[in-house]
Amino acid sequence: MDQTKLLKKVAKVLEQLNIPYIVTGGVAVTVWGRPRFTADIDIAIEISLSKSKDLLKALQKIDRKIYISEVAVNQAVMGNGEFNLIHPDGLKVDFWVLKNDIYARSRIKRRKLKKAWGQNISFISPDDLILSKLFGTKKPAQPVSWKISNQSSRFRKNWTGNTSGAGRKFMRRKNF
């Protein structure tokens, strides 16, 4: 199985269980910006402990040899953490349980349904992807402007056009 097939199967499971999600990370960068290598699939989910058992069972049905720890799933759900799905072909999906805060909930509301690889999949919005790359890691591996090159001019315009001037200051500080 390749990475795109696994992503499509996982997205289908999340849709069937009505679990809000957004694909983030390198896969989202590839969809919104320039293609680049990514070793895993990052998915942020909004889930309750009561739905976690259904998710675990459904993900295990993708392939009987998939490894996913029930303990890790429960700990992640209770503590807004992370758990992994390891496919026998060496593929990995990192599930990030969203925090119960305004920013996390608003990212889910701003998600973009996009047809990718023949299937509608929920992706993080380009603006939120840029913000996550700026603030989500201590030091981005490559400049954000390179990662999201075809989105940066719209992002610059949206942020620098605000009335407070805060967007202009932010963009100057971040060398956009």
Q: Which CATH number does the domain housing residue 48 bear?
A: 3.30.460.40
Establish if 118 belongs to a structural domain: yes
Establish if 44 belongs to a structural domain: yes
CA distance 108 to 155: 18
- Among all chains, which residue has been given the structure tokens 């400049």? 143
Tens of pLDDT along the chain (176 residues) come to 899 999 999 999 999 999 999 999 889 988 888 777 778 999 999 999 899 999 999 999 999 899 999 999 999 999 879 999 999 999 999 999 998 888 888 889 999 999 999 999 999 999 888 887 777 654 444 555 444 444 545 555 554 444 344 444 444 544 44
- Among all chains, which residue has been given the structure tokens 């999949």? 121
**Number of domains the chain is built from:** 1
What's residue 153's pLDDT? Answer: 52
- Domain containing residue 87: 3-136
Establish if 106 belongs to a structural domain: yes
What's residue 161's pLDDT? Answer: 47
What's residue 123's pLDDT? Answer: 95
Establish if 59 belongs to a structural domain: yes
Establish if 66 belongs to a structural domain: yes
Establish if 61 belongs to a structural domain: yes
What's residue 41's pLDDT? Answer: 94
Establish if 172 belongs to a structural domain: no
CA distance 36 to 46: 27
